[in-house]
Chains A and B, each alone.
Chain A
């Protein structure tokens, strides 16, 4: 018989202010096989964990149920505590009574408490049937692949190579540098982008650990952390690169206006990148008007692209610094010069006479053709008046948008994107350069528009993360995998089709054909279990028997009430 311990967490007041903890604990004590039920102010604090550990040891528990918050952040911690107390970590069951009870039913404490009891009853029922699992290890190919040879990818690849890790950098264009190829100087220091990119390229070329593939496209990716295979196609050749980790740094591109503000009709109206190219060739306008947020911060594309205000400030300064006779205005909605250095540029621009006018979405500026040039008509919110700005050039600051094929790449790598097509990291706050898929990392403007220093910081971060499994040389393989009972399996192949990881094949052993799961490839998603018509496919830790026992427990607890 199992010896189950139930530990209910107050989470300070997060749970305790809604759920009646005492009542829940008393209820848990009456559940089958429960030897002990306790509660903690913060189960995840050092004190909470050590009291759970002591209780496991004292009461000789062999199944542990914690009713607290979410497994997404806390399961590893409690599993580790079980291990420290000598209980296999797969004999741990997590019940979420914070998100699922206290928070969502914050206004109905009685029902929240009742639901907490039911969830715990279900958790205990399942825990009784849990089985210990063994984790296996698999080896890691000591090579990294970086996709995208812009600033971010270059930084990541240079770091990995400098760490002594063999690295392949895949760039689909014929040259490295990405967007910076068209940006001559970089704010806030007005450094030359050519020098920066040049130095990175030199470091890579000089390293025996780095190999650059130009004009190369990623056409297929298979495998899993430690054992990927990246197929690259270019110049009529195909190459398969085995890799332990992959970094995605495919960047973003400038949004092309769709005829807003006379773009395409009037030669005086250009985008920021076009201005960059002109300034680089020494073509400095005398009069210029920048219009910010063209195509962003409006319905359909709500986001702020983070770098455009700073790019406009930089280019406005390049104009006024070189031409004392110049007249430059920036028409904006908010100036996003966050931090220290950019705010200094904003200040310098104001001091040097750059005019800042603020517009709102209700009255957007107009660009009108006049005999000798163009006029920007703008309603300035601050002074509550219409202002006409004669100018030689109108610069549209448009947002960075995702690359057209970002979604295709996402599919190849099985990683998600947000609604705008930027790649979606594992956790917005604490895992900014990781994907939920192990072994695949994200950095730079493919994740979100970012400045040069930010892109480089993220490139380095991804290089750090990618290096960790490679340094260790091995990874732990998920133990919660599926397997088919050969006696029940009819070899119908439904699971083979359903599996998104190509982990299942039909094999013939001892004259019997059945579905066999490759455990290193299996991610434990459970899709095959649902697809199996014969109940032959079972997922460890989620067997039909375990799940039925949960439903039975729920029915039982509901019947007891009536």
Chain B
């Protein structure tokens, strides 16, 4: 009987760890709390520094993971409790009711078309709406719909039932209940990734009060061909194409009052998004307000130079003091200080402003760490056991990787995830 490993978090780190562990012959249970695996990478348009289409390189991995004979997916699920000691861990997983029988659902989407309830779409970063019964994105794995019990009329009031009527496969089950499964696991991998800070906590940057202020992850969706604007870069206030674009780095990160650490990936993704914006709108002017341009990876400096020289991106070393709505509530006015002691305050008008907010340990990661008995550092990220064991957590048999450990980009997350697989193999071989 192969030994079992539970992987928590189905982003690129969790997917990679699962694939390697499965290839090594372990039985992997991948637990993802949203309806699909993929994590943040599924939301990105392209990836720096090669500008590979994110979904195009991720999708095959998602499918291979789901199709692997040694991987069992538990999507829309959470780990509730872990009992026992390494190597005899009992992991209780709650598979939340989707009100859809996923063995029957074909993912055809007929129900979605007919559902009368609309709510803001989390995958699209609330730039558009989804239905109460939904598929988070077209390439979702598994490709099965989910009913959002919080908003579904039938679940809440008992009056509707349209989806059940149109479903040819008979997959809708309004009386479905949560299910709890328990896995006897030999090891656990935590790869719960990140969430983006609520930028309205810093009102001086205008998020929420100015229509044409968006956050970086929203901007990824605005660039994406499968996003809410069909890949046409437009601004929210009037749907016009922006000609003057700006980014503000370190919104709430490297900031004493908010989050002290550096989120590591923003300098690069802002540069990437600037290049992509120019590819969408040939005559767009882009400015990036930054503190230090942290381009430390392979090909990153060249990428920044390309943005500057070939795509005309203007890098301004300054932290804007305030953002006001522009005339008639369209566009924004950004006030910032120019370089040097002789620097003066200037106010510049932009059509669209993108904020790069701090990237935080994912929502609920403190509670999960408590449940698993893991230590977090002062910034809320998972702490490694010691210098000799960089991917071991503070609890024996629990390994950690990806953004949940510290801010890091995709290749670093992938490398660490594979590293976790090696450690699992070591400790289960009898090593320390």
Residues of A near any B CB (own CB < 8 A): 11-14, 17, 41-42, 44-47, 49, 69, 73-74, 76-77, 80, 159, 162-164, 186, 189, 191, 196, 199-200, 297, 302-304, 306, 334-344, 347, 381-385, 418, 422, 427-433, 447-448, 452-454, 456-465, 467-468, 471-472
Whether a CB of chain A sits under 8 angstroms from the CB of B341 is: yes
Q: How many B residues are at the interface, by size bracket?
A: 35 or more
A11, chain B: closest CB distance, angstroms:
7
Whether a CB of chain A sits under 8 angstroms from the CB of B174 is: no
Whether a CB of chain A sits under 8 angstroms from the CB of B390 is: yes
9 A-B pairs (CB sep. < 8 Å)? A44-B63, A162-B426, A163-B429, A304-B300, A344-B261, A381-B340, A448-B297, A461-B414, A468-B24
With a CB–CB cut-off of 8 A, which chain A residues contact B425? 159, 163, 464, 467
Cα–Cα distance between A13 and B231 once the two chains are bound (Å)? 8
With a CB–CB cut-off of 8 A, which chain A residues contact B153? none
Closest to A16 in B: B225
Cα–Cα distance between A199 and B389 once the two chains are bound (Å)? 11
Chain B contact surface mostly: loop
B101, chain A: closest CB distance, angstroms:
17
Whether a CB of chain A sits under 8 angstroms from the CB of B64 is: yes
Whether a CB of chain A sits under 8 angstroms from the CB of B388 is: yes
A265, chain B: closest CB distance, angstroms:
30
Closest to A74 in B: B60
With a CB–CB cut-off of 8 A, which chain A residues contact B422? 159, 163, 460-461, 463-464, 467
Would B341 and A385 count as touching, CB distance under 8 A? yes
Whether a CB of chain A sits under 8 angstroms from the CB of B49 is: yes
Cα–Cα distance between A163 and B423 once the two chains are bound (Å)? 9
Would B260 and A347 count as touching, CB distance under 8 A? yes
B337, chain A: closest CB distance, angstroms:
11
Cα–Cα distance between A481 and B12 once the two chains are bound (Å)? 34
Closest to B290 in A: A334
Knowing A339-B408, A460-B391 touch, does A163 contact B431 (C-beta < 8 A)? yes
With a CB–CB cut-off of 8 A, which chain A residues contact B3? none
With a CB–CB cut-off of 8 A, which chain B residues contact A385? 341
Stretch at the interface among B136-144, B163-171, B210-218: B136-144
B44, chain A: closest CB distance, angstroms:
11
Whether a CB of chain A sits under 8 angstroms from the CB of B320 is: no
Would A464 and B418 count as touching, CB distance under 8 A? yes
B212-230 interface with A by 8 A CB criterion: 225-226, 230
Would A428 and B390 count as touching, CB distance under 8 A? no
Closest to A303 in B: B301
Cα–Cα distance between A382 and B341 once the two chains are bound (Å)? 7
Partner of B59, one of A42, A347, A457, A461: A42
A247, chain B: closest CB distance, angstroms:
11
Cα–Cα distance between A169 and B302 once the two chains are bound (Å)? 35
Would B60 and A73 count as touching, CB distance under 8 A? yes
Would A384 and B340 count as touching, CB distance under 8 A? yes
Q: Which 5 A-B pairs have the closest CB atoms?
A: A460-B419, A461-B418, A162-B431, A384-B340, A464-B422
Would B261 and A77 count as touching, CB distance under 8 A? no
A-B pair count, CB < 8 Å, reads 219
With a CB–CB cut-off of 8 A, which chain B residues contact A41? 138
B29, chain A: closest CB distance, angstroms:
19
Would B431 and A344 count as touching, CB distance under 8 A? no
Would B415 and A343 count as touching, CB distance under 8 A? no
Would B296 and A306 count as touching, CB distance under 8 A? yes
Closest to B15 in A: A430
Closest to B380 in A: A340
B291, chain A: closest CB distance, angstroms:
8
Closest to A456 in B: B390
Partner of B416, one of A384, A429, A457, A471: A457
Would B142 and A163 count as touching, CB distance under 8 A? no
Chain B 112-143 per-residue mask, 1 if CB under 8 angstroms from chain A, else 0: 00000000000000000000000000111111
Would B418 and A340 count as touching, CB distance under 8 A? no
Partner of A47, one of B67, B143, B293: B143
With a CB–CB cut-off of 8 A, which chain B residues contact A186? 387
Would B384 and A471 count as touching, CB distance under 8 A? no
B147, chain A: closest CB distance, angstroms:
19
Chain B 29-65 per-residue mask, 1 if CB under 8 angstroms from chain A, else 0: 0000000000000000001011011001101110110
A443, chain B: closest CB distance, angstroms:
8
Cα–Cα distance between A287 and B415 once the two chains are bound (Å)? 40
Cα–Cα distance between A74 and B294 once the two chains are bound (Å)? 33
Would B24 and A430 count as touching, CB distance under 8 A? no
Knowing A12-B138, A430-B410, A454-B412 touch, does A46 contact B63 (C-beta < 8 A)? yes
Cα–Cα distance between A471 and B262 once the two chains are bound (Å)? 40
Whether a CB of chain A sits under 8 angstroms from the CB of B342 is: yes
Q: Which of B25, B56, B301 has the most CB of A within 10 A?
A: B56
With a CB–CB cut-off of 8 A, which chain B residues contact A464? 20, 24, 418-419, 421-422, 425
Would B305 and A302 count as touching, CB distance under 8 A? yes
Cα–Cα distance between A448 and B296 once the two chains are bound (Å)? 10
Knowing A44-B139, A302-B305 touch, does A199 contact B264 (C-beta < 8 A)? no
Would A338 and B294 count as touching, CB distance under 8 A? yes
Whether a CB of chain A sits under 8 angstroms from the CB of B195 is: no
Would B53 and A14 count as touching, CB distance under 8 A? yes
Whether a CB of chain A sits under 8 angstroms from the CB of B161 is: no
Cα–Cα distance between A467 and B428 once the two chains are bound (Å)? 14
With a CB–CB cut-off of 8 A, which chain B residues contact A304? 295-296, 300-301
B3, chain A: closest CB distance, angstroms:
13
Would A429 and B431 count as touching, CB distance under 8 A? no
B87, chain A: closest CB distance, angstroms:
15
Partner of A163, one of B47, B53, B426: B426
With a CB–CB cut-off of 8 A, which chain B residues contact A80? 67
B246-267 interface with A by 8 A CB criterion: 254, 260-262, 264
Cα–Cα distance between A539 and B24 once the two chains are bound (Å)? 33
Whether a CB of chain A sits under 8 angstroms from the CB of B23 is: yes
Whether a CB of chain A sits under 8 angstroms from the CB of B381 is: yes
